[in-house]
Amino acid sequence: MTTPDHQASATAPPPDSTTPIRPASWRARISWAMFDWANQPYFTVITTFIFAPYFTAKVIGNPVDGQSLWGFTQAFSAAIVALGAPFLGAIADAGGQRKPWLFVFQLQLAFGCALLWLAQPGQPQLLPLVILGLVLANIAAEYSIMFNNALLPALETPRHVGRLSGIGWGMGYVGGLIALFTVLIVSQPELIGITPPPGEALLGLKRDAFEAERVIGPAAAIWLGIFVLPMFLFTPDRPGSGRPFRDVVRDGIGRVINTIRHMRRYRNLLRFLISYMIYYDGLVAVIGFGGIYAAGIFGWGTTELGLFGIALNVIAIPAVILGGWLEDRWGSKRAVQLAILLVAFGTLGIASIGPGSVLFFIEVAPRAAGAGLFSSPGEQVFFLCAALLGLGMGTMQAASRTLVARLSPPDMVGEFFGIFALSGRATTFLAPLLIGITTAVFATQRIATIVILVFLAAGFVLLWKVEEPARP
């Protein structure tokens, strides 16, 4: 059933619409999905499992202070993204092409990653450059995702767009999995029976200078440069308008202002964007702070965090592909609701774990010094809870992307993906900021999970009133 406020997206598209009657070629679609493969290691290895815990525990030297600083850094980046996303998306709509914008921001992402090599403990004079690299990379990664998302509706029919979105996220998780495995082998070659010279990892990287952790940034930049090429070569872009850039910018800014003034015309989409704004805050926070929390509670290092990330990605890959299939059968809204519940239960379980307890009240033996990997009951329960995160987090993101494609008017896809990025970032700084503040005030990392649960619950409740349009 079609509601009045999304009739524009449910009726036949105008002649210049980007909605295809038939899907693009398989090479174009797979090349588009390769973008996720190319970009995901940044999120998996840098902002989640390896570099973030290394930064907080080793570079800063104190998990509590490090988590607080990381939260402030993420919050600042998110605020910049929120301010610019709708305008950049609308400008791209007015100019037609998305790939030139993608090229610029992918270069910025690579440069920001390269700066992370400077993150060495005991070198406080380099810390501003490291933080600059994090901020540049965070901003560029989010803007890149926005423009890549805007290419999606032109590649697949509306009925099967969820499947392509899920394949993209699934390929991203595979890329992240390979990157994590590579980091583990380079930093801990003993795991596969290779014994490097004393004090070294593979490739001659010095352990006492943490070069195996620091090289992650430049390596991610090289990975990005190689694997993003198919998207630029084979995925079609909209034709350019041929108008002067100044006119395109003026038109784009005017579009955003006009859309905001008349947002009541898109009430259903607005309801979803508000809901997404809140539950995505919680998702970003649990992804960004999960590894940091584990490192602080259990003292995990690169090996444990890498294996944990690999396990999480192994779970997420089939889950997100199955989620895309479920979207096309049951609808994107239901897929998002299921994913929120999975992430919320997983987060609640993590919140219940302390160094010597699980499920809040059950006392267990803490991890013993020199014990085997994941040998303590707390670590094992943490793994079970994290499995729920793996089942839900990819589907939540992929289904949300699909829902925007289905709700947006065909000739305003870029603008609404920009507003989608805005809604995902308008308050995304709030969860890391609250985590940073509450962690500093209460001097405990566990408070972060309580903040995350509040955001997930509020977003889930608001999503009930969103009406998904009937699919052809």
In this predicted structure, the answer to whether residue 330 has a pLDDT above a threshold of 60 is yes
Tokens 């903040």 sit on residue: 451
In this predicted structure, the answer to whether residue 370 has a pLDDT above a threshold of 50 is yes
In a domain, 90, yes or no: yes
Q: What digits encode the pLDDT tens for the residues 54-70?
A: 998 889 888 778 877 88
Residue by residue, DSSP assigns 212-233 as HHHTHHHHHHHHHHHHTHHHHH
Residue by residue, DSSP assigns 39-99 as HHHIIIIIIIISHHHHIIIIISS-HHHHHHHHHHHHHHHHHHHHHHHHHHHHHHHHH---H
Confidence at 7, pLDDT banded by 50, 70, 90: very low
- The model's pTM is 0.73
The total of structural domains in the chain comes to 1
Q: Are the beta carbons of 305 and 380 closer than 8 angstroms? A: no
The CATH number that applies at residue 99 is 1.20.1250.20
User: Among candidates 43, 236, 24, which has minimal Cα distance to 144?
Assistant: 43
In a domain, 341, yes or no: yes
Q: Coil, helix or strand for 206?
A: strand
- The domain of 243 spans 18-463
In this predicted structure, the answer to whether residue 235 has a pLDDT above a threshold of 80 is yes
Q: What average pLDDT is seen over the chain?
A: 81
Cα 130 to Cα 3, 111, 181, 290, distances in angstroms: 49, 11, 24, 21
In a domain, 449, yes or no: yes
In this predicted structure, the answer to whether residue 472 has a pLDDT above a threshold of 70 is no
Q: Comparing 261 with 276, which gets the higher pLDDT?
A: 276
In a domain, 10, yes or no: no
In a domain, 457, yes or no: yes
Q: Which helix (H) or strand (E) holds 363?
A: strand 362-363
Q: Backbone phi, then psi, for 24, in 5-degree steps?
A: -65, 175
In a domain, 4, yes or no: no
In a domain, 2, yes or no: no
Say how far apart CA 351 and CA 293 lie, in whole Å.
Answer: 10
How much is the average pLDDT of 149-177?
A: 81
Quick one: what percent of the chain has pLDDT higher than 70? 86
Please report the pLDDT score of residue 341 as a whole number.
93
Please report the pLDDT score of residue 4 as a whole number.
32
In this predicted structure, the answer to whether residue 15 has a pLDDT above a threshold of 60 is no
Say how far apart CA 351 and CA 210 lie, in whole Å.
Answer: 30
In a domain, 111, yes or no: yes
How much is the average pLDDT of 342-365?
A: 79
Q: What digits encode the pLDDT tens for the residues 183-217?
A: 889 988 887 888 889 888 898 999 999 999 999 99
Say how far apart CA 57 and CA 67 lie, in whole Å.
Answer: 9
User: Among candidates 176, 287, 168, which has minimal Cα distance to 224?
Assistant: 176
Instruction: Kindly report the length of the chain.
Output: 472
How much is the average pLDDT of 258-277?
A: 80
